[in-house]
Chain A
């Protein structure tokens, strides 16, 4: 039997199909198409177990052979002149780190020149592993660590609550929200590779060796000069990446996308949270003034709805109990702690008759923390004056609801101050955002606020509802119209 089996020649499918026609051929070819070759017999299969990385000869010179000493750290070095725009670093980071579809820790942009000789320069950048990392400073749960030896700013993925505050804090647009996981992830300079003498993905993949890892002294004196044109001054976070160019970057150079009016994320849960907590604070003041139990309950309603909304903003709410950890440096952590107290105090006022003014003052401290949460990002539109005016404005309008005429006047004044460019002393960008990029939103805010002003004396309830809508629109604009600091884009 066995000898007979052996005598049958083994045909490949395609040889077998040579004799087939019609439907039998279709079936045979479909079968062949589905079959993947798993036999490890071909030369191209090329098994070599446990060997050293073949790319090592390429990147040997591009990474340090020693660990940083005390007072030093690892840093990216980009030889700008050698970066000729292939952008392989972005794709390699994605593939070699097993990231999700859109994820890459490296991004590319360009500088161009609006005058002088023809000029363009591709800019590749990843995390700058800052000396004073804004992401870490803002994180309410301490999900960032700056490694003491390497200086690498690492993100603790299992610690992260997905609040996205680091995204607002980082002026280089480095941390990225992963919606699938509900957390932020970022570049760790391929720590695991460096630890065994392998180069980070981007370094391995650069055909012109433009990216390297160097040991640099930890920055001691902050410099205000930015890494590149149209980038934030380096004194904010003290980035460590070095962009080196012997050719030099022309003075006129600017980010290729500098003219783009980028509408930023609206963060609706935060819009609701901010407006509602600020309204609640105002209502507690009002309740203290008119001694109204109903107002206390209304205030509590707004407060708890606002805080509930804020939880919707989190990608990993179950981890949020750790939010007190960051209180030393993070305004967000402080805001959460104070609002926690605010909620408790609000309940105490309603149930046990704790004086409303005490609760209102706690609320006011919380609103102040909210203001600082945004001021601390150094985004131009979110400067201290304007943010305070907007946030406290909401509180004052709510408090003024005891007198519709007063509320209407304050609402009108706030509208005037917020949206009129020469009064608000806005940067050109914010004006362009309001009037060119977001004319419908701006128009809706103005219209709703004006309607509220008219309605308040006629029907306080309708007026109050319109006022609330106006404040929500104002806050949506606050998020949409802000200029987020970034590296040059494409």
Chain B
């Protein structure tokens, strides 16, 4: 009887519901996978979120439609791992609010009608106010070929002068710093450097959650490295570090100069390297005499013993690498801060060898592609618009008239917004970015948008804060619905494939650009731009002879086969390429720059560049006693969350309400209880949030995650003078219970 009760029908151990979770061998090296999404084939794609550039294996059904994905175990970047955004990369494609038709003034229209509206309106504006009265703002999220097409179409075909990308908000500082110091925008590192350093210094960088798969490489470092984190907050990375220098906000430049001072005093300068490969060290050494740590440490907020431990480690280190991210890039003196890091590496000879380098960790999946091929700040391929020889070279490579290439530089993002306010820009075309959420002191963007005569937004979703302001919305296919290359933070070009069909009338950005070129009447200039890979071949030609020479990369299949390839990659590199041994990890053909000490400046020497630190543009005062910091909230959130917000799984990974981090001492003083309602206010506006009372933030400081749409109502529009990158990281604020 008891046994009978233990079997069916009394105990149903198997049945239709149990079978829903059945696992089966997935083949393709996948191990067991859900039986209901077992792949018929797999295809590789590079993740379309951050600049790590993880390889993903997309599981396809018989129709070639993606049904699942897993990180690629054979990809040299991520070795089978991904962050939650990567795991969930397919989910946002199926969101119900995808833009499926062009929308003109909110009404669905067909493509011919949309193209007509696009051309008629922009041409009318150009005829009234001049060609440069129409501008574009683009992104680091679309493919290299898309970017090149957009920049070329806008500037060579439509006569625009001004175009920039949201990469201005994340990477412009690194670009400016590298260009000035090295002669070219050339992040020198390869990810193997994470594993080869004996000292890693992270400045304003939280890779544990911002770049988890890069952090994986740090965790795999076999040399028990000293990990030093310089950050006002006790971040996830700071928790995992061996040293945390919790400096006061935006005292990074001062600290870096003090470190240089101490290293010079200790005689840690690699004189042979400095003499052979750099200029300006003597002037730098003179300048740095004013930065005695004994004088400045109180202003930085560090105790001497903490500072000494850090300098000890750097002085002792044989392979010291220094990594920075947005904490540095988004500051009022960002370029000089990045260069202060570069200076430290140059003076100690920590460059060009494994495990060394002043290394900027890029933000977006194709920020690096944007830097070289978006035709915004630079002429295609890292060339110079103002240089006639460069214009000739690019024109001949693209087979277009040289006089179709503008000879003047573009305005930066903030100057374009300012241009709208001043009535100089009357038409704007925005592609795959969400300025109404992300732009610093965002009200200035919303006001600008109202002043535009015609505003076009090209995006996957018609529901972004920005799309809602547009006159015309062009529905774009997303990552996974199109093909092209990304360039990751270590200069690796990888291919992302089309694995999912786009909804409705949505088209790949590349196709949209083709349609606009045709409708505008400049299709003839782009007659050979018929596919992303065709454009890739053109860009190879453009890159010839540049530091970013990719002429040796044959095509997409070759990139796929090697898990991507890093620039430079010339024909001779092609001959030396080690073969992939079958069944093993791909040969780690890691490529780093400057092994020969030769830089891309005319005299092949790196420059020491420096400037005295300045106070915060908006220091705390009586009325606004706190410094408000903003930054990434979690690994599951991407920027304005137009995509990550669509995944129910990702939404489980961060608080569902806006939390402002506040130190317990301040909370006690202001009688603010944990999780209670508060108002955070700056001179620009206020937001409601709940208090998170935590020691990860220092007294006198507040932190808000940037992903909530209202946060940038508070931020202060300051810009680094060299890179014109906005400084999101510090402004004066106040907090009170409500």
Contact = CB atoms under 8 A, between A and B. Distances in A.
A98 interface: yes
Contacts of A32: 511
Interface in A87-133: 87-88, 90-92, 94-99, 101-102, 104, 107-108, 112-122
Contact of B695 (A44, A115, A158): A115
Interface stretch (B11-19, B157-165, B310-318): B11-19
A14 interface: yes
B530 interface: yes
Contact of B83 (A26, A34, A86): A86
A29 B28 contact: no
Interface string B26-61: 011111111111000111100000000000010000
B25 to A, nearest CB: 8
B11 A101 contact: no
Contacts of B634: 85, 87, 490
Interface stretch (A1-9, A16-24, A230-238, A416-424): A16-24
> Of residues A114, A119, A121, A183, which shows the largest number of chain B Cβ atoms within 10 Å of its Cβ?
A114
A258 interface: yes
B191 to A, nearest CB: 13
A121 to B, nearest CB: 7
Given A44-B495, A51-B28, A118-B696, A94 B649 contact: yes
> Of residues B44, B110, B495, which shows the largest number of chain A Cβ atoms within 10 Å of its Cβ?
B44
Interface stretch (B206-214, B464-472, B618-626): B206-214
Nearest to B231: A118
A108 B541 CA distance: 49
A33 B502 contact: yes
Nearest to B237: A84
Given A91-B84, A114-B674, A142-B11, A101 B44 contact: no
A207 B240 contact: no
Interface stretch (B74-82, B335-343, B357-365): B74-82
Judged by DSSP, the binding face of A is loop
A55 B82 CA distance: 13
A19 to B, nearest CB: 9
A51 B29 CA distance: 5
Contacts of A193: 23, 31-32
Interface in B67-101: 68-71, 73-74, 79-84, 87-88
Interface in A142-167: 142, 156-160
A332 to B, nearest CB: 17
Given A25-B518, A38-B64, A112-B694, A82 B219 contact: yes
A488 to B, nearest CB: 13
Nearest to B693: A114
Contacts of A185: 21
Given A18-B527, A30-B507, A112 B11 contact: no
Contacts of A208: 215-216, 219
A18 B497 contact: no
B531 A12 contact: yes
A98 B21 contact: yes
A42 interface: yes
A119 B43 CA distance: 42
Contacts of B13: 156, 158-159
A6 B208 CA distance: 57
B695 A29 contact: no
Nearest to A142: B11
Nearest to A34: B501
B234 A120 contact: yes
A119 B239 contact: yes
A261 interface: yes
A474 interface: no
Interface stretch (B586-594, B651-659, B725-733): B651-659
Contact of A29 (B29, B41, B511, B527): B511
Nearest to B9: A322
5 contacts: A21-B523, A33-B502, A91-B84, A95-B70, A96-B33
Of all A-B residue pairs in the complex, the 6 with the closest CB atoms, nearest first, are A98-B34, A118-B234, A259-B674, A158-B15, A53-B31, A86-B212
